Amino acid sequence: MKKIPTAMAIVASVVLLGSVAVLSPLNRAYAHTFKGDENVAFLSMVQQIKTETSLAGNNTSDKDIANHHLEHAAEALTNATLKEISEKNQRIATDLPANIEQLKTMINSSNATTEDINSQVQQISGLLDEAVQVRIDPAQVTNSTVQALVVASMLNEALEHYGEAIGFEGNMTNMSTMIPSGQHGMAMHSTSNASNIQANSTGASNTGATKIVSVPNYQSAVAFSEKALNLYQQIKAKAQPGKENAIRALDSSFPAFIKAIKDKAQAMQVVSLAHLRIHPNLMEAYNLKLAT
C-alpha cells in the first residue's frame, strides 16, 4: 500500500496561534505518514498537473516562470502512470503528454493568443478528467477518506513549494526534522524554535516577513494551498458524525494557512498551521489512519 507522506507533529492539549481548538492528547511530536493507495496518488497527480498547467497559462508574459510550471506538470506525469492509463485507454495516454508539450510550444511561441492557451489548458484538464473516469472506480473518487487524503497531499505540495520559494534548507513536510534534537517536547511555536527554523531559510528577513527567492515556487505554494481549501470545502459535509469541533478548526485553519503563505510568513508559522492544526483535524473528521 502506498504511503502518502504527511508529517504530523501533534503536542498534547496545546493551543496554537490563537486557535481555540484543542488537539487530541498525544504525548510527543513525531512525523507520520498516512495510509493511502494508488487511487489517492493518481488523484493527487491529476490535481498537480491541473494546477501547474493553469499557472503556466497564467504566466505567458514570463516564459521562464511558465516553463517552470510546465516542467513540474510533466514531472508529475510519469511513464508508470502513462502505462496505467494506456491499459485502460491508449488515446488518453497518447494525447495527455502530447497536449502538455503542445501547451509548452504555444507558450514559447509568439503566435498563440491568450484564448488559444486557455483553451489548451482546458483541453489538458478534460483529458485528466477522462483519465480519472477510466482509471478509478467512481465509488473511490467520491469516497470521503480518499478525498481527504488528496487534500492532505495538496497541503504537502504547498509546503514543499513554499520551502523552495523561501530557500528553506530542510523538509517542511516533516516537522520533526525542523525541531532541534532534544526539543521535541517543547511547544512547537516557541520563539527559540521559530528562530532555529528561520535560520535555515536563505530568504529570511528581520521584519517577520520572508523574502521570496523563487517566484514560480511561491505561485505554486499559493495555488496548492487554495486547491486544498477548495477540495476540503467539497467534502466538508461528508465528515464523520459528531466531529463538529474538528470541522470548526478546519474552517478557520485553511484560510489562516493560505493567508500565512500569501503574507510570506516565516517557515515555522506556515508549518505549524499545516501540521498542528489542519492535519490532525483532518484525521479526526475523516477517520484517516496512520501508516505503521
Task: Give the DSSP per-residue string, the chain.
Answer: --EEE------TT---TT--PPPP--SS----EEE--HHHHHHHHHHHHHHHHHHHHTTTT-HHHHHHHHHHHHHHS-HHHHHHHHHH-HHHHHHHHHHHHHHHHHHTSSS--HHHHHHHHHHHHHHHHHHHHHHS-HHHHT-HHHHHHHHHHHHHHHHHHHHHHTTB-S-TT-GGGGSPTT-TTS-TT-HHHHHHHHTTBTTB-SSSSB--S-HHHHHHHHHHHHHHHHHHHHHGGGSPTT-HHHHHHHHHHHHHHHHHHHTT--HHHHHHIIIIIIHHHHHHHHT--B--
Mean pLDDT of 18-23: 33
Q: Is the pLDDT of residue 33 over 80?
A: no
Model pLDDT, residue 289: 82
Q: Is the pLDDT of residue 25 over 80?
A: no
Please, which pLDDT band fits residue 110 given cuts at 50, 70 and 90?
confident
Please, which pLDDT band fits residue 174 given cuts at 50, 70 and 90?
confident
Please, which pLDDT band fits residue 171 given cuts at 50, 70 and 90?
confident
Please, which pLDDT band fits residue 179 given cuts at 50, 70 and 90?
low
- pTM score above 0.85: no
